[in-house]
Amino acid sequence: MSMPLQALVAEALQLPLDDLDALIVSLLAHRDADPGVTPEEIETAWAEEAERRVDAMERGEVAWVDGDEALARLRAAAIGSR
Q: What is the pLDDT of residues 24-82, one digit of tens each?
A: 888 887 777 777 888 888 889 999 999 999 999 999 999 889 999 999 999 999 887 66
C-alpha 46/C-alpha 54 separation (Å) is 12
**CA–CA distances in Å: residue 60 to residues 14, 37, 51, 56, 63:** 35, 33, 14, 6, 7
pTM, entire model? 0.46
